[in-house]
Structure 1
Amino acid sequence: MFLLRTIISTIAVIIASNFELSFCGCARAEYEIDGKCCPICAPGYHVYWHCTADTSTTCFPCPQSTYTDEPNRLTECFSCTVCDTVQHLKDKKDCTRSADTICEPQEGFHCIKLNKASCALAVEHTECKPGQYIKQTGTAFTDTVCAGCTDGTYSNGSLTACLPHSKCETMGLTEMKPGTSSSDAECEKVTSVGLIVGVTIVLVAVVTVAIISAYIIYRKHKASRSKKSGECRTPREATEDDETVSEYLNSSLLTQSNISNMIVIGSTLL
C-alpha cells in the first residue's frame, strides 16, 4: 500500500510540473520579458518596443549596413561584415537586411577559415618549384598540388605537365648540356674538324691561284712592253706599267671583294 501511494504521488508531481510549464512557458515564436511572452521579430528586423499587456512587439527594419539573419529579440541589428583586403578577401555577395556579407578569397588565394558560408581568412596558393609541375590547380577552398617530374622530363614550376627533354641527335645537333628536371637539354650545331680543314685548304688554294695568276699576267705584260719599247723606260712609261699592273690586279681573283666573298662562303660552310 505504501509503495502504491509513493508511485501515485510521483506521477502527480510530474503531471503538475508539466502542466505548469506548458501553462506558464512562452511559445516557440515568443520570448519572455518582465513576465510577459512577446512575439519575436523576423529576420531583417529588430525589437523597437517590447510588447505590453495591450500591444504586441514593435519590430523595426535593420538600418543600412546592418542585418539579422534569424528570428530574434534583439534591440539592435548586427553590423555587416567588411571583406578585409589585408586578409586577401573580396565581396562575393553584398550584405542585406536579412543576410551578412559573403566574402571569398582573392585570385591566387584559398580560404583557410570559414564563418558560416563566408571566408574569414585566406592564404596564397603554393607555387610549384622548378622540377615540379602543377598536378592540381588551386581553387578558392583548396591549395595547389605539386608533383615532381620523372626522369627525362622537365618543368620550370609553372607547367601543368612536364615536357620531355629535346633529343639533339634526332635534330642533327650535338648535346652540349644534358637536361635536368628543371631545364631542357641544350643543343648546338658543331662542325667537324675535317670540314674545317677542308674549307681552309680550299680558301688557301684559291688565294694562291689568284696571286700566281696575277703575277703571270704581270710578267707577260712586262715582257710585251719591253719588246716594244726596249730595255730603257722613261719615268712616264714606268708609271704606265704600274697602272697596268694595278688594272690586272683589280681584274684578277685577288680583289678585296672576291676575298670577302670567299670568307663568307667558308663561314657558311662552317
Structure 2
Amino acid sequence: MRAVFVLYLLVTLLYHVSCCEKETHYMKDGKCCKMCGPGKRMLVEGKCEDPACQDCPNGEYQSGYTRETKCERQPYCDINLHFKPQQAYPSKTSISECECEPGYYCTQDDDCSTCMEHTVCKPGQRLAKKGSPVSDTVCEACKNGTFSTEDSADTCKEWKTCEHGYDANTPGTSTSDRTCLGAPIYRVLIGVGVAVLVLLLAIIFFVLYKTKKNAGWIEIPNLKPKIAVLNMINNTQDIDIEKTSEQPRQPEEDIDNSVPVSPTPSNMTENGKFCCSRARQRTYCLMY
C-alpha cells in the first residue's frame, strides 16, 4: 500500500513538472507558479497563480520573464567619452546599448564601454573599407603608378601620361603626380603661325592708315543746305529775267566788232589808204 502511495506522488510530481513551462513559470512547493513578464519585476511572492508585478523604473529594463524583485539597469553612456546622447526614456524591455559618435567606434568584445577614433588614411593610401560604429577604418597603400594627396582618399589617381614631345621631368610617387617638361612641335608651330598672322594684320592696317592720311581722304560734307541756297538763288534770277522780258526792248546799237585787216589790193582806197575794220559783214574804210 505504501508503494502505491509513493508511486502516486511521483506520477503527480512528474505531471506538474512536465506541465510547467520553464520560460514563463517556476516551481514552488510542488506547484507551477507564474513569473512577471518583460519590463516588470515581482514585488512580493504572493499568490502562485497571480503574482504581484510592477513596471521597471526609468533607466532600468527586464528583457524576459522573471521572478526577481529588481530590474537591470541600463548602461550609462557619457557624451564626454564620445558617446551619442541617450534617449530620454529608454526601453524597459531591452538593453539600450551605447553608440559612439561619428568618427569613433567601439567593439562588441567590451560591450562598447569605450569609444576609439577611426584610423585616418594618410596620403599615399586609399580608403579600402570605411569605419562603422563597431569597426575601424581599413587603409590600403596606393599601387604602383597611382598616388593620393589627401587624407582618407576614396581612390588613388593614376600618374599623368606625358604626350609625344614631352619628357618626364620628375617621376611620380605614391603621394605626388608625374610632371612633364617640354612642348610638342605642332603646338610651337601653331603658336608661331598665330603670332605671324597677327603681325601681318597689324602691318596691313598701319599701311592703309598711312595711305589714307597722305591721300587726304576726307568725308564728303552734307551738300543739302548748299543745294537749297543755290535753288533759292536760281529761283530769284528766274523772277528777275521774267521781269526784264516784260519791259520794251531797246534798239540794239551796232557794235563795232571790227578786227584789224591786213592791207591788200582789195581793201585799198584810191588814195592808197586801206580799211582798218569790218563790222557786221560790212567794211568801213578809214580815209587818211
Q: TM-score, normalised by structure 2?
A: 0.49
Q: Deviations over 1:220-248 (max 9, x none)?
A: xxxxxxxxxxxxxxxxxxxxxxxxxxxxx
Aligned runs of 1:1-270 on 2, under 5 Å?
Answer: 17=10, 19-23=12-16, 27-28=20-21, 29-32=24-27, 37-52=32-47, 56-85=50-79, 88-91=82-85, 95-113=90-108, 119-156=112-149, 157-167=151-161, 169-170=162-163, 176-186=169-179
In structure 2, C-alpha distance between the alignment counterparts of 1:150 and 1:172, rounded to whole Å: 27
Q: Is the 8 A contact 2:77 2:86 kept in 1?
A: no
In structure 2, C-alpha distance between the alignment counterparts of 1:98 and 1:23, rounded to whole Å: 30
Q: Is the 8 A contact 1:82 1:101 kept in 2?
A: no
Shift of 1:139: 2.1
SS in 2 for 1:135: strand
Q: Deviations over 1:157-211 (max 9, x none)?
A: 42111112234x5498775533211122356789xxxxxxxxxxxxxxxxxxxxx
CA distance 1:18–1:81, shift in 2 (3 Å): farther
In structure 1, C-alpha distance between the alignment counterparts of 2:54 and 2:13, rounded to whole Å: 33
SS in 2 for 1:104: coil
In structure 1, C-alpha distance between the alignment counterparts of 2:143 and 2:9, rounded to whole Å: 78
In structure 2, C-alpha distance between the alignment counterparts of 1:91 and 1:70, rounded to whole Å: 26
Q: Is the 8 A contact 1:67 1:97 kept in 2?
A: yes
CA distance 1:176–1:65, shift in 2 (3 Å): same
Identity %: 31
CA distance 1:114–1:90, shift in 2 (3 Å): farther
More strand per residue: 1
Q: Is the 8 A contact 1:88 1:122 kept in 2?
A: yes
In structure 2, C-alpha distance between the alignment counterparts of 1:21 and 1:87, rounded to whole Å: 54
Structure with greater contact order relative to length (CA < 8 Å, sep ≥ 6): 1
CA distance 1:24–1:170, shift in 2 (3 Å): closer
> Tell me, which stretches of 5 or more residues in structure 2 are unaligned?
184-288
Shift of 1:123: 2.6
Say which is worse superposed, 78-87 or 29-38, in terms of deviation: 29-38
> Tell me, which stretches of 5 or more residues in structure 1 are unaligned?
1-8, 191-270
CA distance 1:68–1:164, shift in 2 (3 Å): same
CA distance 1:120–1:15, shift in 2 (3 Å): farther
Q: Is the 8 A contact 2:159 2:177 kept in 1?
A: yes
More helix per residue: 1
Residue identity matched to 1:102: E
In structure 1, C-alpha distance between the alignment counterparts of 2:82 and 2:74, rounded to whole Å: 18
In structure 1, C-alpha distance between the alignment counterparts of 2:182 and 2:54, rounded to whole Å: 83
Shift of 1:113: 1.6
CA distance 1:52–1:150, shift in 2 (3 Å): closer
Shift of 1:21: 3.4
SS in 2 for 1:49: coil
Q: Is the 8 A contact 1:46 1:68 kept in 2?
A: yes
What count of residue pairs does the alignment treat as equivalent? 176
For the pair shown, the structure with the greater C-alpha radius of gyration is 2
In structure 2, C-alpha distance between the alignment counterparts of 1:161 and 1:18, rounded to whole Å: 73
SS in 2 for 1:60: strand
In structure 2, C-alpha distance between the alignment counterparts of 1:128 and 1:104, rounded to whole Å: 23
In structure 2, C-alpha distance between the alignment counterparts of 1:85 and 1:146, rounded to whole Å: 28
The alignment yields a C-alpha RMSD, in angstroms, of 3.8
